[in-house]
Amino acid sequence: MMRRKRRREDIAVQRIERLFELAEAAAKEDQDLRSDRYVQLARTIGMRYRVRIPRKLKIQLCKGCYALLIPGKNTRVRLREEYITTTCLRCGMEMRRPYKAPRAPSSRRK
Reply yes or no on whether the pLDDT at 109 is more than 70.
no
pLDDT tens per residue, range 54-68: 999 999 999 999 999
CA gap 7, 58 in Å, rounded: 22
What domains lie within the chain, and their CATH numbers?
2-98 (1.20.5.420)
pLDDT tens per residue, range 67-92: 999 999 999 999 998 899 999 999 99
SS3 state at 85? strand
Integer Cα distance of 68 and 98 in angstroms = 20
pLDDT of residue 83: 93
Q: Which pLDDT tens digit goes with each residue over 6-52?
A: 899 999 999 999 999 999 999 989 898 999 999 999 999 999 999 99
Phi, psi (rounded to 5 degrees) for 79: -100, 120
- Residue 44: which of 16, 73, 21, 72 has the closest Cα? 16
